Amino acid sequence: MIADRIALILVIVGALNWGAIGLFGFDLVAFLCGGQMATVSRVIYTLVGLAGLWCITLLFRERASGQQSA
């Protein structure tokens, strides 16, 4: 499903950003978008948060019959 892929991409972006903050004290989203309180940054942070919530649903979905379980 396309929404699942978009959500996963956004969660990966968020994870990489948090990794950069944790390791280097560098917020890439804020750097690229004009600061943490810039509107664009806040929109990105919000989308990443919503994507994280969406990805929680992936844990509880049943797999299609053609897919193997891990």
pLDDT in tens, 44-67: 999 999 999 999 999 998 876 556
What pLDDT band is residue 22 in, cutting at 50, 70 and 90? very high
pTM across the whole model: 0.79
What pLDDT band is residue 1 in, cutting at 50, 70 and 90? confident
Residues with Cβ within 8 Å of residue 49, at least 6 apart in sequence: 14
- Distance between CA atoms of residues 35 and 65, nearest Å: 46
Letter string b/e over residues 6-45, b meaning 16 or more CB atoms within 10 A of that residue's CB: ebeebbebbeebeeeeeeeeebebbeebeeeeeeebeebb
